[in-house]
Structure 1
């Protein structure tokens, strides 16, 4: 009966089926996160209902430098209200005993394709690559997201509270990415992280030349670079024409013709859209940095970066983060020259190291991926503290996505995205016991009523199933 009611509630317009989980709280328009008037697809995300909650007794890892044994975290109105050895909680606060457990910020994945390459992995769900042109900067990943991908709930069970959904890497310019909160919703806009900047997915190396080598190019790495530069030249001219129109009074009769591709690239040149660059080889990363300097934009993060260790000083110099794997390599030529100490070496150089997934299974265990990178660094003689490694999957990832002022650390005033772990999060035995997003309990490993399921997982109504 519960199963049928859950599916019926979703069909009647709930955010998603969650076996007893409350609906998002209704927020007056005046309190909603401000949206840019230029965004035609604004976030409709509303935090789920929460109540004042005091987590006490666990080892609190803030990702801001402090590790507090037998610490306390107070969440009020969806925010971190206090963190410390002892905090003052309101009388009506729910008290959660975390004795023997660990408490951290929510885990953030900078590179996911959940929703755009949804499960089951069939051709009908292959919506991550608009592989029709080397430059598809006009497409937006959010328009391909299927919110009922079961991968979202599996990621939640691994402590993932936010993630960036990217287009694939077949194109030089793959399109806009979107950052989402990992909550049940009917629509992608209902998951969209309010105020998070868009990203632009770019890809250099083997993928674009392989995909377009027989479709008119580019077919070489030099062709890739020429494609990037030609696009930025056109984008710079587009930006100039719009800037002149704005400064001259925005007369409707003289408004330049809109171009969705160039709007995205101009947004990068204005610093409004963050560049996330798929790139494996160190020499190509250096070239991409040169291109960014030629046209006056900044690269926010190199993704995959199997050879990031070779240019770690350049990344640190230009404040470019590395969204990297712990030990995924060797599957193509540009992914061969790898060291398991890659993350640790990038960290040691002073660049922001990040553990990312690019995989629907890997996203479920980013904490364990970080643990592997800690050990690899130590074997190479690079000491990495657990606080620093925690930042690889929290604070640094938040910075790469431009949401570091809202999430990523356990500090007063930040959004209460919190995970309670059964063991030290870098232990192979660690499992997320509880996951809070904006202070709302979204997952409880020991309470089936707090284990959300998508409508796809719920299946048919019992009456319909019996008629088959």
Structure 2
């Protein structure tokens, strides 16, 4: 039988049928206020809300009312409940507590000896763009042809069949992730937030209504990428100079469009790259900035004030602990690793206590992966960061540390009102772990997204396999 035939049989037997249902929506978007007035829609506005030319068609998979009982609950916002229960139905969290009654017809799971948490959210991933197998044909992370490529959108390179998505779900309990362009460029392009579901198209994975992000980068990567080609930037001075010149053009572009929308007249020429930067200056697209050194992060925050935007999060940020007070004052998060350091000069001063110091200082700290393997063990990365902090005398509870995995990244992505914690009314993005989730021996037992069971370690029919892998030895063989 052909691989296509095997895919169809596997899909009809299990999750493939749900994937088709998930993509069935029209994805029609409401018109913007400008369009309603007969003018062209404002291109820099957050296209996810109004007139995105590539709208989300995501539809939640069908699920059943489920009650998990007798389980340890981390609610994602610092709360812990022993011998607790979690009820979710119709795709939403209904109730969390110790005395929760099962509605008629609900699936009841005894979670004795197990933990339940919100699904993990990875704010920094390249899955789909830097897909597996890792070969040139699947490498779509960096548009390394110009230091300013704000016109590119990560979603236009996402391959939904990347086996990494299923591995992140099954091995890591990851239910939502932000896909970013790479860091070769000062302005890398737009990011996209995805739900970690099976779909034929990237539109079928897009988190409905999630704000877009703008990937920026400072430091060694852009100056090395372009200085080696004998062009600007070749220094950190050049990095900032190109940044400022670009923001100056964006500010002028925004003034032109704002004036047109307010007063009419000649329609300005549209610039796809400046559309994105206009969205940033309007506060509707969030800046996600690759940056390692404390001094550079401080300069970037000053530059943001000059042009009237805010950096939502610095990514990697191995020296964030040096400026925790500045990050807190600027309401800027630091998305970091537990202990990666020393692989280049700007990462030399990384320390394992980084996250704990940020927490103690009241700054926003987040764990992230930037790696197709690391995304499968972010819970273990948090355990390492906790241990480093405790050895330094900084006490953070396990339940509070779960913020680094769910509520923190949800807040930075602008979706914390819908996911990131186990609160009534939020999306039922839930993981049942077969033990303490901060133990290296623990794995996800079940993962629900919008209340639908998408992974079950105890049921071979509920194990994600990319159709790219069907028919490969040991992967998705169909009898």
Residue 290 of structure 1 corresponds to which residue in structure 2? 302
**Residues 92 and 427, structure 2, Cα contact 8 Å, conserved in 1:** yes
1:18–1:453 Cα contact (<8 Å) kept:
no
State the distance in 2 between where 1:310 and 1:446 align: 45
Question: Does 2:77 match 1:64?
Answer: yes
SS at 2:73 equivalent: strand
> Which residue in 1 is equivalent to 2:315?
303
Matches within 5 A, 1:273-352: 273-352=285-364
Match of 2:51 among 38, 47, 52: 38
Contact 2:177 2:193 in 1 (8 A): yes
8 Å Cα contact 1:78/1:438 also seen in 2: yes
Match of 2:39 in 1: none
Q: 1:320 to 1:150 in 2, by over 3 A?
A: same
CA shift in 2, pair 1:451/1:64, >3 Å: same
Matched residue, 2:279:
267
Q: How does 1:101-120 map to 2 (within 5 A)?
A: 101-120=114-133
CA displacement 1:285-319 (0-9 Å, x = unmatched):
00000000101101100000011111111001111
Match of 1:212 among 210, 221, 226: 226
What aligned pairs does 1:120-135 form with structure 2 within 5 A after superposition? 120-135=133-148
Distance 1:51 1:416, change over 3 A: same
Pairwise CA distance, 1:57:
1.2
Tell me the alpha carbon deviations over residues 247-287 of structure 1, each in whole angstroms, 9 at most, x when there is no partner. Answer: 014x5xx1100001100011000001000000000000000
Give SS of 1:24's match: helix
SS in 2 for 1:257: coil
1:396 corresponds to: 408
Q: 1:51 aligns with which of 64, 68, 93?
A: 64
* Counterparts of 1:91 and 1:71, CA distance in 2: 20
Deviation of residue 347 (structure 1)?
1.2
**Structure 1 residue 364 and structure 2 residue 382: aligned?**
no
Using the size of structure 1 for normalisation, the TM-score is: 0.93
2:179 to 147, 151, 165: 165
Give, in whole Å, the separation in 2 of the partners of 1:68 and 1:26: 37
Q: 1:177 aligns with which of 186, 191, 202?
A: 191
Q: Relative to structure 2, which stretch is displaced further, 14-23 or 70-79?
A: 14-23
Give the deviation of 1:17 after TM superposition. 7.5
Equivalent residues of 2:20, 2:200 under 8 A apart: no
Other structure's SS at 2:438 match: coil
Is 1:422 matched with 2:434? yes
d(CA) in 1 for partners of 2:178, 2:12: 20
Residues 211 and 312 (structure 1), Cα distance of their counterparts in 2 relative to 1, 3 Å cut: same
Query: Structure 2: how far apart are the matches of 1:404 and 1:18?
Result: 27
In the superposition, the TM-score normalised over structure 2's length comes to 0.91
Specify the alignment match of 2:398 in structure 1. Answer: 386
Say yes or no: does 1:203 pair with 2:217: yes
Long gaps (5+) in structure 1: none
Q: Report how far residue 20 of structure 1 moved.
A: 7.3
Unaligned runs of 5+ in 2: 32-47
- Per-residue CA deviation, residues 316-369 of structure 1 (Å, 9 max, x unaligned), is 111111100000111001010121101111111111110100000000000000
**RMSD of aligned alpha carbons:** 2.3
The answer to whether the 8 Å contact 1:394/1:408 transfers is yes
Measured in 2, the distance between the counterparts of 1:72 and 1:426 equals 20
Residues 437 and 129 of structure 1: CA distance in aligned 2, closer, same or farther (over 3 Å)? same
Q: Determine the C-alpha separation between the residues in 2 that align with 1:16 and 1:123.
A: 33
Alignment length (residue pairs): 456
- Deviation by residue 1:103-137 (Cα, 9 ceiling, x = unmatched): 00000000000000000000111100000100000
